[in-house]
Chains A and B, each alone.
Chain A
Amino acid sequence: MSKLKEKYLAIPEQIRIVTVLFAIFLIMFIFGRRLFIPKTFGEYGHYRAAAVDDIMQIGLVYAGHQACAECHDDVVAEKSQHMHKHVACENCHGPGYAHTQAPDEHPLTIPTDRSYCVLCHSYNPARPTGFPQIDPVTHNPDGACIDCHQPHAPQPPEVPEECGSCHERIVRTLGAGHHNSLPCTQCHDIKQEHKITPRDFLPTVPRTREFCGTCHSTKASSAKEIRRVDIVTHGENYFCGQCHFPHNPEVKI
């Protein structure tokens, strides 16, 4: 015993003090830790299992779209066929859990205000190409959106009467030139789907001299005031569009 004590005393005093203090601290930590850990901690994972019960006590607010389908299956079926299929019902109609419990007491809102739709559909250059966007100031300013657009099956009310709803600059350019009176479809073959997913259904662009020749060739049977060239010799091997800009074909002769 005295040997052990001798050995202990041979250790410098500082080390003894510090070691004992650290040991006390460590032991207090290891045992004290148990007091501080909640009882149900670690039952399921790195969290307090009773927290799940606590969270369950918090009232539900959203019902989820499956709940909507139980009564409004026709609307859900219609919506699932159209562009808003990935937009949840409660995105527009608000939290609906209370409504599922007592439909008459808690009617849901139907947003009719113009300011609502433009949260997604106002023009913003950073939105993806082809995403339907409008300028709320100029786009039918007096009407509510739902007067023309059915939100569960959102299609433009009619095919844009003019291509200009998207290609405004081209239409303005056209308006200044001789091709003003021509419909876009005179030169471009445009599928109906182009209006919904433009990038997937690109319109055709004329690529041959003969195409322009159908109006501008000396042999063409078009109106006689239309300017004519001999498309065999005129411009040699160049395609018309390389010298003439078809949307504003003002050439000096």
Chain B
Amino acid sequence: MEHLFERLTDAIQHATGYIYPNEAELHWNILIVIYPYITGLVAGAFILASLERVFNVKELQPTYRLSLLTALSFLLIAVVPLQVHLAHPERGYEMFTTPNPQSAMAMFGFVYLWYLMAVLLLEIWLDFRKDIIQWANESKGLKRLFYLVLTLGSKDVSEKAIEFDHKFGKLITIIGIPSAFLLHGYVGFIFGSVKANPWWSSVLMPIVFLFSAIVSGLALMLLVYMVSNWVRRKQNAMDCLDKLSSYLLYMLIIDFSLEALDFVHRLYESEESIHILSQLIGSKLFTSFFVLQLLVGTLIPFTFLTLTKLVRIGDTARKVLYFASGILIQIGIMSIRWNVVIGGQLFSKSLRGLTVYKIELFGMDGLFLPIAILIAPIFILIVVVKLLPPWPEAELSK
């Protein structure tokens, strides 16, 4: 008990103005920051895959399988930050066995399961089915056994069956788009429906989250595609990069407009919370809001991407600009998540004071754990890509 008092006293000393005692320490920490960030990447990567599949954007074909596998790698990790933060992962299954339909958070478990099992895994399996059968036939030993299990007993590689795969896969992608929207829109919904928090409570929240998710996913795929080509010493397909960056630019503009709309709307409404919120972004969130989110994460990549569209620039320079934009946008989207999750807890519900968030390095609340969680999907992706090569030369069906 004593050490709790000491922590509380310490935290209160860093607060400015008046805060309630239970606001001195933040309950949702950096793990909850990376959770919407990761689900956003999943939703965004899937939307990119659907562009090729459903909307027939042929230039994006080289990224199709890669983005499905990327979405899967990140989705497998998406709930880990939540599980770690709640500190009782062994109870996680209870949300399925005793579901509470009144809780949006509990219902997310089903959205997640649906998205993982019915959309992503099924689509990947259908798309790779013919290749898996082929690989099973060609390989030996354990590898053969592995691929045989992956075939799930299917053997039919007739033209008719392959055509059916494509049709069925397209149907799943069509179902997948609203599912991806649901997956990430839900995360925004959770924040947007917290009535007591004026920084969160907004009907625009799910939509803003969704578009920022698409932006982050497209930027991620731009990076993954370029890095994978660099590792494999292959040339980037420039028309694919150009198309991908165009979509990235459009989505960035929509996302920025929505955020700006939300911001201006708050300013114009000027509710009683406006004073503390302007103090918040003017002091505690100044760097992460104005510098990282707005300047580094939005305006600079916007300028870069616009430049590549308006001015004739050589391939190498264009690639540098695309890559830089991808990195900067990731920083920007991470800042958006930070500003929402941490920013929303930095001001008192009394609207009279601000607290601070001091991050530790080690332990469950530390900085290293979320970094490890963020890196994990990259390793998963490396393994998945080794098992199911998404590259055109490995693709046997075409």
Q: Is the CB of A41 within 8 A of B98?
A: yes
Task: Let me know if B161 and A12 touch, CB within 8 A.
Answer: yes
* A46-B100 in contact given A13-B155, A13-B156, A14-B164 (Cβ < 8 Å): yes
Pick from A12, A33, A41: contact of B164, CB below 8 A: A12
A residues near B117, Cβ cutoff 8 Å: 25
Contact B93 A36 (CB under 8 A): yes
Residues 184-239 of A contacting B (Cβ, < 8 Å):
none
Is B97 positioned at the interface, with any CB of A under 8 Å from its CB? yes
Q: Is the CB of B18 within 8 A of A127?
A: yes
Chain A: CB-nearest residue to B18:
A126
Contact call B154/A14, Cβ cutoff below 8 A = yes
**Which listed residue (B98, B153, B161, B353) contacts A126, Cβ 8 A?**
B353
State how many angstroms separate the Cβ of A19 from the closest Cβ of chain B: 11
Which residue among A12, A41, A42, A124 has the maximum number of chain B CB atoms within 10 Å of its CB? A12
Contact indicator B97/A14 (Cβ below 8 Å): no
Binary contact readout A19-43 vs B (1 if CB under 8 angstroms, 0 otherwise): 0010001000100010011000110
Asked if B350 is at the interface of the complex by the 8 Å CB criterion, the answer is yes
Alpha-carbon distance A190/B346, docked complex (angstroms): 42
Number of interface residues of A (CB under 8 A): 19
Query: For residues 45 through 61 of chain A, which have their beta carbon under 8 Å from a beta carbon of chain B?
Result: 46
Known contacts A13-B156, A33-B97, A46-B98: A124-B168 contact under CB 8 Å: no
Binary contact readout B254-286 vs A (1 if CB under 8 angstroms, 0 otherwise):
000000000000000000000000000000000
Query: Do B97 and A37 have beta carbons less than 8 Å apart?
Result: yes
Closest chain A residue, CB of each to CB of B155 = A13
A36-B97, A126-B350 known; A14-B18 Cβ under 8 A: no
27 A-B pairs in the complex with CB atoms less than 8 angstroms apart = A12-B156, A12-B161, A12-B164, A12-B168, A13-B154, A13-B161, A14-B154, A14-B164, A14-B165, A14-B168, A15-B168, A25-B117, A29-B96, A33-B97, A36-B97, A37-B97, A37-B98, A41-B98, A42-B98, A46-B98, A124-B18, A125-B17, A126-B17, A126-B18, A126-B352, A126-B353, A127-B18
Interface residues of A (CB under 8 A from B): 12-15, 17-18, 21, 25, 29, 33, 36-37, 41-42, 46, 124-127
Further 15 A-B residue pairs, CB within 8 A, beyond A12-B168, A15-B168: A12-B156, A12-B164, A13-B154, A13-B161, A14-B126, A17-B153, A18-B125, A21-B152, A25-B117, A29-B96, A33-B96, A36-B94, A41-B98, A46-B100, A126-B18
Interface positions of B (Cβ within 8 A of A) = 17-18, 93-94, 96-98, 100, 117, 122, 125-126, 129, 152-156, 161, 164-165, 168, 350, 352-353
